[in-house]
């Protein structure tokens, strides 16, 4: 049987999505359900003086209305930060309480205050309009740069500062900078983004009054973790009385990692009103209340020698947490950002200092890449600027500072097990026809256009691990993953994984892996995920961890199946287990033609006996059945890397940037399914390009989100993007048996600096802030023209 | 309340609806055709695209009452006798979908394109799909799928 | 969206009779329905005029093209007659929204709504359109009053729009990257009687840029546009384009339009 790992297997999940048979949370209806509408703060910062629900309660069809008072009375806990970060001075981070319904104060537009349950959605909406909230409106802190000098949002949190964190050695950096020929300095704003999964968040809750079990169908990337938080911190129900199901989920990109207010409130309320509840966010609600991403202000410096060697790096960043600290909110700008900011380079000395502050905006958390795009943008802009100031080619300066020996101890934290950065950049250079750029630039110029080329080399640290290390660094949970592999007596296999697919294709990829391990046709393998009642506990899907952690748990569980199978087969074949080999789904006794298929072994394991004779196929001490599980905790992160090159053409008359060519060369180690991996890269690129050219979440001074719909928030569309030219190199990961590295975030991490480096290259090095909108580029073109005229 | 009679995926249906029911509301809530998705409230995302009398429209921005007598085809009605439409086949083959949420609207829009243009260029495909937002695929494989379908149809 | 009474009018007379200050006529619904969904508008009565046959269709005479109010953008875009008589008008229709919007949205709805960033109003200005209602015929210059405001009375129904066929013309727009409405759209049309430059997106209401028209009357070339000074005062300013950028884009797109004529 040919190996399925490495082949372009079409997806098992496609048929249901292509025929309208997907089952997303909002497709679920439960008899007798009520409809929920949340009353949300229209103000960015206010004290709640009074919530009057009396009139609304009398409105037609209203079943109940619950407020922050009720939450407090029932002692329902709030939302939490998943990582405790310590400041440079040793003090613990400061986090405000974040109740599921606000009782005393609201801290961003969209902060929920009360919820109406009614017989119909229209009735819920009508009643919601009758809930009167009396506010004392306070001055909003909406500007990140001024947040530390503004009024205190949360009592007891001075300067709105959650922590002031340092990684690295300031003294060593100081010494390195003293030796430098040149210091390259850069000030950047990493623009705020809204993840915008196409499926708006939703939850449907069903409370069983007899069993007292709550079932919560929800749009989550990690149902097990949601259950844990809802139970342990929310106090909604004990874990054994709480089932969380994340059925088909329409994209997440980080925004569905968090457990949200609505899930806690509706789960708690369903028990209270003894009715099922359905809540589906409108897109505007998603814009206002989904966690946002990025939003940093960074000053960074790179110390270099005249011949382009890097000596040291410093990174001073202010990161926006929004109104509250959420699950990955505090770690994204620290351990996911700081260590990666020195990039793929040998950097003798470095530090990253991050001040995370609260503002009256939606909570900021992980968004595809989470910290690593911000880090890569910082270093890759700096490196390009250094090349320009030193008069070097951007590829030459990168090559000069790449490590060539692996494992490579990266400056701040990571021990990178494998990689070949030189090969990746060389391949990208060739595929992009880097050397032909000058001719293409000339051609563009002949049409009155400007052309630029941009290069980025990146690495990513993903599949965060191992658990003792991440917990030592402040994580509230371990980041292992679980799997269970169950053989049916008749030979089909069900694989249960604790990770969750919301587009990543686990039902196909994981089945490929199991098919190879067990020698069972892929058609006979089903992958089950997303239901806390099915399968063991799991940590979910984010940070490109599913394959490198969850996939390996499946491999390990399969290996246990094979081990047990070997013993049973040996007994059946009257051989010693040492003599039995397993290959292509068959247990074969060496140097003989005696064999049993794994299906026969599975059958025997469940039906361990024969008529008229007391004879078991099971060796002494072996239990019946063929089900095995595994919890995999990798020894380290995985470290994908690559080099991307793109070209843009700019119309100086309008400032319009046309993305003309995009080449991506990535090293993801072993690739299980190239079709799917390419899709992950394409999608990641679109989001990174979106950050570079289009997307920008903006709040006004009063804290109103002015990009709260697709009329104002620019989503990349089909006609904005080119075809992508992809290539791969392969150095296998040494920390897992498949040699795989994560691939979900790479495109997003590399694309933003690649595009911006190209735009700035076209503008002769003129700095421009993210995103490079037509107006900004047009202004830069105008200034360029002026300075060129002066020079002439 | 209004009574409307439509032909949906070849079946005649009659339903009592309130005046402000949208076509997407009728399909999802009254006919349990939940393949038609709602991704926004400003008629921009295109997850709700269906065909009415042979043309693609956004079903979230059409009143059911005003479509009395129309023929509607949704994603559920595209395959015939269990055989996938060539566009559905092509999306599968080229991996033109990931999370699947925008997919029904994307496929219905793409089918309408090929009715209007048999062999569209890449640019024509990208222009036509302007009203369908996908967050997962970067559109690359969607364009490839539409081309693949065009070559098969 | 809040509920309303839906009426499908048989004829214009019935539509007009059903109308009140608390009603809206419904054609394609491309603005009306989202506005109601977002709670920005609500009405007691929605009067659907799509089934009134005489409101739809395209007629070309020697000097004019007349388009029925409920004619869809896709019908204008694909009309051989329009393509032949005023190709720029068909191209404008092809560039409105997306294919699904063009399959529903109507010309009458677009101009009655008078969105400051809509495309069709600029065509009305540039092509000396006459708007025929059930009561009267109105010159485009008088029809558009201000932001989302026209001279239509609440019971008045647009029946058709009659465009003069120009000698040459072109419409060029810079779309808003998010909404795809016009940040600036410039419709240049040369008639025997004179030149019009209909500008949409730039200000609170579509207008005829007399300075550009004057300059082009003297010398119909894109180079002459450089010499025209366009003030940014009164121009719209938002997160996608400042007033200064818009003023400059009026020039840039006027040039593109002249070059494309």
CB count within 10 Å of CB A448 equals 9
pLDDT above 70 (res A732): yes
In the listed set B77, B108, B142, which residue is the last one of a domain according to the structure? B77
Residue in chain C nearest B68 by alpha carbon? C8
Q: Are residues B71 and B11 in the same domain?
A: yes
Class of domain C5-164: alpha beta
- Give me the count of residues in chain C: 261
pLDDT above 90 (res A536): no
- pLDDT of A789 reads 83
Q: How far apart are CA B4 and CA B20, in angstroms?
A: 12
Strand order across the beta sheet in which A525-528 lies? A525-528, A493-497, A481-487, A627-632
**CATH (domain of B31):** 3.10.20.30
Q: Does the beta carbon of A191 lie under 8 angstroms from any beta carbon of chain C?
A: no
Total domains in the fold of chain B: 2
Indicate the burial class of A704 (C-beta count within 10 angstroms; 0-12, 13-18, 19 or more): middle
Mean pLDDT computed over every residue of chain A: 97
Q: Are residues B102 and B62 in the same domain?
A: no
User: Across the interface, which of A26, A197, A718 has its CB nearest the CB of B143?
Assistant: A718
Q: What average pLDDT does the segment B51-72 reach? A: 97
Report the CATH architecture of A14-20+32-138+196-289: Alpha-Beta Complex (3.90)
In the listed set B77, B103, B136, which residue is the last one of a domain according to the structure? B77
Tens digits of per-residue pLDDT, C160-211? 999 999 999 999 999 999 999 999 999 999 999 999 999 999 999 999 999 9
pLDDT above 70 (res B99): yes
Class of domain C168-260: alpha beta
Question: Which partners does chain B have (≥3 C-beta pairs < 8 Å)?
Answer: A, C
Q: What average pLDDT does the segment B13-34 reach? A: 97
Q: Which fold has domain A293-464+636-791?
A: Aldehyde Oxidoreductase; domain 4 (3.30.365)
Q: Does the beta carbon of A699 lie under 8 angstroms from any beta carbon of chain C?
A: no
Q: What percent of chain A has pLDDT over 70?
A: 100
User: Across the interface, which of B101, B133, B143 has its CB nearest the CB of A24?
Assistant: B101
**Equal CATH topology for A14-20+32-138+196-289 and A480-632:** no
- pLDDT of A595 reads 96
Q: How far is B112 from chain C (nearest CA, A)?
A: 9
Domain locations in chain A as residue ranges: 14-20+32-138+196-289, 293-464+636-791, 480-632
The B residues from 69 to 108 touching C (CB cutoff 8 Å) are none
- pLDDT of A786 reads 87
- pLDDT of A83 reads 96
Tens digits of per-residue pLDDT, A439-498? 999 999 999 999 999 999 999 999 998 999 999 999 999 999 999 999 999 999 999 999
Q: What average pLDDT does the segment B51-57 reach? A: 98
Tens digits of per-residue pLDDT, A764-780? 999 999 999 999 999 99
Q: Are residues B66 and B103 in the same domain?
A: no
A663 confidence band (pLDDT: 50, 70, 90): very high
pLDDT above 70 (res A752): yes
- pLDDT of A661 reads 96
CATH 3.30.390.50 domain extents, chain C: 168-260
pLDDT above 80 (res A423): yes
C123 confidence band (pLDDT: 50, 70, 90): very high
C12 confidence band (pLDDT: 50, 70, 90): very high
Q: How far is A406 from chain C (nearest CA, A)?
A: 45
Least confident of A108-112, A387-391, A633-637, A783-787: A783-787
Q: What percent of chain A has pLDDT over 90?
A: 97
pLDDT above 90 (res A438): yes
Q: How far apart are CA A113 and CA A105, in angstroms?
A: 9
Do the Cβ atoms of C253 and C260 come closer than 8 Å? Answer: no
Q: Which residues of C touch A122 (CB under 8 A)?
A: 2-3
> Are B76 and A20 a contacting pair at CB < 8 A?
yes
> Are A712 and C179 a contacting pair at CB < 8 A?
yes
CATH number of A480-632: 3.30.365.10
pLDDT above 70 (res A1): no
- pLDDT of A790 reads 81
- pLDDT of A787 reads 85
Q: What domain range includes position B56?
A: 2-77
pLDDT above 90 (res A792): no
Q: What average pLDDT does the segment A596-607 reach? A: 97
- pLDDT of B149 reads 98
Say how many CB pairs under 8 Å bridge B and C: 78
DSSP string, B4-73: EEEEETTEEEEEEE-TT-BHHHIIIIIS--TTS----SSS-S-TTEEEETTEEEEGGGSBSGGGTT-EEE
DSSP string, C43-73: -SEEEE-TT-GGG--EEE-SSEEEEETT-BH
A407 confidence band (pLDDT: 50, 70, 90): very high
Tens digits of per-residue pLDDT, A183-225? 999 999 999 999 999 999 999 999 999 999 999 999 999 999 9
Do the Cβ atoms of A634 and A551 come closer than 8 Å? Answer: no
In the listed set B77, B98, B132, which residue is the last one of a domain according to the structure? B77
CA distances from A667 to A396, A455, A639, A646, A753 (A): 20, 16, 9, 18, 18
A128 confidence band (pLDDT: 50, 70, 90): very high
pLDDT above 90 (res A791): no
Q: How far apart are CA A344 and CA A400, in angstroms?
A: 11
């Amino acid at each position: 049987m040919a190996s399925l790992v490495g082949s372009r297997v079409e997806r098992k999940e496609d048929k249901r999505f292509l025929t309208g048979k997907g089952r997303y949370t909002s497709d679920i209806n439960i008899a007798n359900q009520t409809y929920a509408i949340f009353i949300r703060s229209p103000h960015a910062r206010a004290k709640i003086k009074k919530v009057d629900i009396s009139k609304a309660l009398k409105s037609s069809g209203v079943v109940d209305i619950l407020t922050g008072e009720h939450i407090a009375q029932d002692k329902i806990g709030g939302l939490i930060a998943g990582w405790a970060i310590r400041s440079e001075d040793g003090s613990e981070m400061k986090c405000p309480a974040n109740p599921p319904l606000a009782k005393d104060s609201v801290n961003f537009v969209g902060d929920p205050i009360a919820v109406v349950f009614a017989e119909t959605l229209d009735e819920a909406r009508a009643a919601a309009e009758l809930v009167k909230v009396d506010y004392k409106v306070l001055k909003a802190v909406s500007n990140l740069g001024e947040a530390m000098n503004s009024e205190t949002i949360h009592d007891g949190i001075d300067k709105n500062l959650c922590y002031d964190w340092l990684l690295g050695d300031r003294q060593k950096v100081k010494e390195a900078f003293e030796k430098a020929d040149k210091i390259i300095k850069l000030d950047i704003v990493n623009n705020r983004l809204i993840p915008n999964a196409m499926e708006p968040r939703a939850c449907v809750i069903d409370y069983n009054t007899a069993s007292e079990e709550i079932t919560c169908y929800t749009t989550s990337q990690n149902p097990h973790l949601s259950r844990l938080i809802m139970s342990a911190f929310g106090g909604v129900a004990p874990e054994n009385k709480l089932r969380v199901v994340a059925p088909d989920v329409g994209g997440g990109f980080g925004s569905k990692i968090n457990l949200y207010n609505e899930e806690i409130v509706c789960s708690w309320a369903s028990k209270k009103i003894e009715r099922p509840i359905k809540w589906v966010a409108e897109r505007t609600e998603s814009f206002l209340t989904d966690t946002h991403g990025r939003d940093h202000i960074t000053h960074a410096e790179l110390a270099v020698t005249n011949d382009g060697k890097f000596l040291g790096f410093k990174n001073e960043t202010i990161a926006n947490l929004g109104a509250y600290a959420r699950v990955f909110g505090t770690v994204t700008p620290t351990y996911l950002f700081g260590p990666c900011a020195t990039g793929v380079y040998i950097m003798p000395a470095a530090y990253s200092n991050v001040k995370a502050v609260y503002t009256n905006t939606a909570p900021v958390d992980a968004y595809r890449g989470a910290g690593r795009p911000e880090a890569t943008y910082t270093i890759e802009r700096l490196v390009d600027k250094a090349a320009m100031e030193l008069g070097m080619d951007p590829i030459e300066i990168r090559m000069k500072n790449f490590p060539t020996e692996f494992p490579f101890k990266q400056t701040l934290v990571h021990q990178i097990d494998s990689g070949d950065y030189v090969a990746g950049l060389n391949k990208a250079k060739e595929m992009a026809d880097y050397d032909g750029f000058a001719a293409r630039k000339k051609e563009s110029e002949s049409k009155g256009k400007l052309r630029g080329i941009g290069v980025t080399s990146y690495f990513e640290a993903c599949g965060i691990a191992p658990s003792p290390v991440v917990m030592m660094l402040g994580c509230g949970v371990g980041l292992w993953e679980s799997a269970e592999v169950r053989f049916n007596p008749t030979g089909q296999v069900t694989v249960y994984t604790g990770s969750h697919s919301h587009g990543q294709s686990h039902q196909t990829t994981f089945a490929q892996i199991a098919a190879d391990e067990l020698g069972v046709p892929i058609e006979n393998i089903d992958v089950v995920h997303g239901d806390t009642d099915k399968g063991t506990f799991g940590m979910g899907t984010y940070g490109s961890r599913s394959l490198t952690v969850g996939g390996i748990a499946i491999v390990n569980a399969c290996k246990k199946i094979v081990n047990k199978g070997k013993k049973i087969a040996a007994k059946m074949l009257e051989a010693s287990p040492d003599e039995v080999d397993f290959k292509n789904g068959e247990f074969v006794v060496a140097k003989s033609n005696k064999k049993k298929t794994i299906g026969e072994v599975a059958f025997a394991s469940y039906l361990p006996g024969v008529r008229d004779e007391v004879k078991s196929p099971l060796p002494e001490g072996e239990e019946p059945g063929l089900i095995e599980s595994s919890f995999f905790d990798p020894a380290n992160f995985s470290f994908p890397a690559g080099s991307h090159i793109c070209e843009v053409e700019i119309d100086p008359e309008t400032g319009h940037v046309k993305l003309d060519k995009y080449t991506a060369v990535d090293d993801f180690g072993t690739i299980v399914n190239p079709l799917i991996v390419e899709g992950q890269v394409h999608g990641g690129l679109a989001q990174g390009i979106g950050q570079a050219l289009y997307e920008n979440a903006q709040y006004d001074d009063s804290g109103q989100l002015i990009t709260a719909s697709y009329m104002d928030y620019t989503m990349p569309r089909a006609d904005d993007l080119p075809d992508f030219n992809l290539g791969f190199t392969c150095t296998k990961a040494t920390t897992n048996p498949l040699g795989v590295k994560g691939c979900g975030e790479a495109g997003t991490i590399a694309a933003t600096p690649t595009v911006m480096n190209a735009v700035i290259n076209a503008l002769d090095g003129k700095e421009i802030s993210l995103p490079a909108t037509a107006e900004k580029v047009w202004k830069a073109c105008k200034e360029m023209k002026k300075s060129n005229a002066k020079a002439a | 309340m209004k009574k409307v009679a439509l032909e949906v995926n070849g079946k005649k249906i009659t339903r009592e609806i309130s005046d402000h029911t949208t076509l997407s509301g009728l399909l999802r809530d009254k006919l349990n055709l939940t393949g038609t998705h709602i991704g926004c409230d400003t008629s921009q995302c295109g997850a709700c695209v269906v065909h009415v009398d042979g043309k693609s429209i956004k079903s979230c921005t059409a009143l059911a009452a005003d479509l009395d007598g129309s023929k509607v085809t949704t994603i559920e009605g595209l395959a015939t006798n269990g055989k996938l439409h060539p566009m559905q086949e092509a999306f599968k083959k080229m991996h033109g979908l990931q999370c699947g949420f925008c997919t029904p609207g994307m496929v219905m829009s793409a089918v309408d394109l090929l009715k209007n243009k048999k062999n569209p260029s890449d640019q024509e495909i990208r222009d036509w799909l302007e009203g369908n937002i996908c967050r997962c695929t970067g559109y690359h494989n969607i364009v490839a799928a539409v081309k693949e379908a065009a070559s098969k149809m | 969206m809040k509920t309303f009474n839906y009426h499908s009018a048989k004829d214009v007379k019935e539509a007009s009779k059903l109308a009140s200050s608390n009603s809206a006529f419904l054609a394609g619904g491309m603005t009306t329905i989202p506005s109601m969904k977002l709670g920005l508008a609500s009405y007691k009565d929605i009067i659907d005029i799509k089934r009134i046959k005489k409101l739809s269709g395209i007629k070309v005479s020697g000097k004019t093209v007349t388009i029925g109010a409920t004619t869809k953008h896709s019908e204008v875009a694909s009309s051989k007659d329009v393509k032949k008589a005023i190709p720029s008008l068909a191209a404008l229709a092809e560039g409105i929204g997306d294919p699904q919007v063009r399959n529903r949205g109507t010309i009458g709805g677009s101009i009655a709504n008078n969105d400051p960033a809509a495309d069709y109003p600029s065509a009305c200005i540039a092509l000396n359109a006459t708007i025929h209602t059930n009561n009267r015929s109105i010159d485009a210059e008088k029809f558009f009053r201000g932001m989302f405001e026209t001279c239509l009375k609440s019971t008045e129904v647009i029946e058709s729009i009659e465009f003069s066929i120009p000698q040459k013309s072109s419409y060029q727009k810079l779309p808003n990257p998010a909404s795809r409405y016009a940040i600036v759209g410039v419709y240049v049309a040369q008639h025997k009687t004179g030149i019009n430059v209909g500008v949409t997106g730039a200000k609170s209401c579509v207008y005829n840029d007399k300075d550009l028209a004057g300059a082009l009357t003297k010398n119909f070339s894109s180079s002459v546009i450089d010499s025209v000074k366009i003030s940014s005062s009164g121009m719209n300013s938002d997160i996608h384009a400042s007033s200064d950028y818009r003023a400059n884009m009026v020039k840039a797109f006027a040039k593109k339009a002249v070059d494309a004529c």
